[in-house]
Structure 1
Amino acid sequence: MRVKSEARRQAIIEVAKDAFIRQGFENTSMSEIASRVGGSKATLYNYFSSKEEIFAAVMESSATEKIANAFKILEDSDDIRTTLTNFGMHYLHSILAPDIMAIRKMALNEADRSDIGRHFYENGPKKGWELISNYLQKQIDQHNLSTCDAGICAMHLKALLEAELVEPYALGVIAPPDESQLIAIVSRAITVFLRAYQP
């Protein structure tokens, strides 16, 4: 029964994710999700107490699936440039994925009306960048980076990785970058970062 329940919950998340991406959070109703899943609203409420809770589950499942792999790279034992370059490539591939970009836009759009934006940040970006901060703190302790606030250092890395393309891509100004463009962008970002922070 547990396997069936988890499968049902995942089916709801997948259907809701598709609906949210296609028509936005506000225009998607619990009734519509229930209809698409093939059940009643009562069944839906057995799994989720609100549309906001479903959206939170959609955000978490998407982030866990794609972005978490980028942060696992930090466990590698390569030199700092190689590790950060590999991380940067995985990170940009993850956040530029159409479904992740759509969810991010919805979270930003809903931030003024509900706790969804905060929930998205607390359970996605914040957790990930805490892992980066921990990695950078280890590099500081090992004297591979200059003494500094690892949290601020992590935010500078994030800004450098996103600087050239995230905003224009999100606004539809540029096409998705190809692999060679991503490699060049990440290489420039890591070079600037290490020039600023290496002793």
Structure 2
Amino acid sequence: MVTNATLARGRLGRQSPDERRENILAVAAEAFALEGYGITSMSTIAARLGGSKATLYKYFASKEELFQAVMQRKCEAVIGPLEELADSSTDPASLLTAFGKIFLSRLCQPDAIVIHRTVLAEAERFPEVARTFFAFGPEAAYSVLVPALARFDAAGLIDCPDPRLAAEHFLGMVRGDIHLRVSSGLIPPPDDAEIERQVSHAVGIFVRGISRRGSAA
């Protein structure tokens, strides 16, 4: 269904190139969410925009490139705050708590759940969808957390010889069953209290596991 918001965004003629690109990304994200990656075509997106495919191709050479840009745009809103945390934190437990809260909260928001469902539904037929998701989703989070864990290990604050594996385990603990239940439609997104409970429990177990003997990291 074409929404009023989509129709309002579809006036490309009076927009600057940057505004036009943002408009394309917003409309494409809506199309991928409503119709799925496989069914959505460049023609579909152009029609939603109220312009031509020629205009669309000036900005994105293919549907795969457009989907990558949509994913990158959505993930940048999460990765930016995580990078600031990782760069400024000097305490492993504080970093992991703040990191985990942002990660789980964003992961369970409706637009992120739609992306996750799209990936699961389309990955077998369109492996580029899975590759894009992992590049701009999990791998982007690991690229922030792994260097921070390595820095803490080098400083003697934790015992973490394999920061990458540790990061995978930590984020897996933070997700727990909550993300699976939300993405399956069994429960609504968790509130702040539930996120606090889930993340605090994961951090408590994880920090005890990576603490140097005799340390209270």
- 8 Å Cα contact 1:160-1:189 kept in structure 2: yes
Match of 2:50 in 1: 38
- Measured after TM superposition, the shift of residue 144 of structure 1 is 1.4
- Measured after TM superposition, the shift of residue 12 of structure 1 is 0.6
After superposition, give the CA deviation of every residue in 1:89-121 in whole Å (9 maximum; x if it has no partner).
Answer: 111111111112211222333222231211221
Normalising by the residue count of structure 2, what TM-score does the alignment of the two structures yield?
0.85
Q: 1:150 aligns with which of 131, 143, 163?
A: 163
- Matched position secondary structure for 1:173: coil
- Measured after TM superposition, the shift of residue 189 of structure 1 is 0.4
Match of 1:74 in 2: 86
Distance 1:44 1:147, change over 3 A: closer
- Measured after TM superposition, the shift of residue 78 of structure 1 is 4.4
Give identity over the alignment, percent.
34
1:118-197 superposed matches below 5 A: 118-197=131-210
Q: Distance in 2 between matches of 1:68 and 1:107?
A: 23
Q: How many residues align?
A: 197
- 8 Å Cα contact 1:110-1:116 kept in structure 2: yes
Q: Which runs of 4+ in 1 moved over 3 A?
A: none
- Measured after TM superposition, the shift of residue 62 of structure 1 is 0.4
1:25 correspondence with 2:44: no
Instruction: Letter of the 2:165 partner, please give it.
Output: I
- Matched position secondary structure for 1:7: helix
Gaps of 5+ in 1: none
Q: 2:74 aligns with which of 22, 40, 62?
A: 62
Match of 2:60 in 1: 48
Q: Distance in 1 between matches of 2:160 and 2:93?
A: 18
Gaps of 5+ in 2: 1-14, 213-217
- 8 Å Cα contact 1:67-1:95 kept in structure 2: no
Q: Distance in 2 between matches of 1:140 and 1:58?
A: 35
Higher relative contact order (CA 8 A, sep 6+): 2
- 8 Å Cα contact 1:68-1:128 kept in structure 2: no
- Measured after TM superposition, the shift of residue 76 of structure 1 is 2.2
- Matched position secondary structure for 2:16: helix
1:105 correspondence with 2:114: no
Q: Distance in 2 between matches of 1:93 and 1:70?
A: 13
Q: Distance in 2 between matches of 1:51 and 1:94?
A: 25
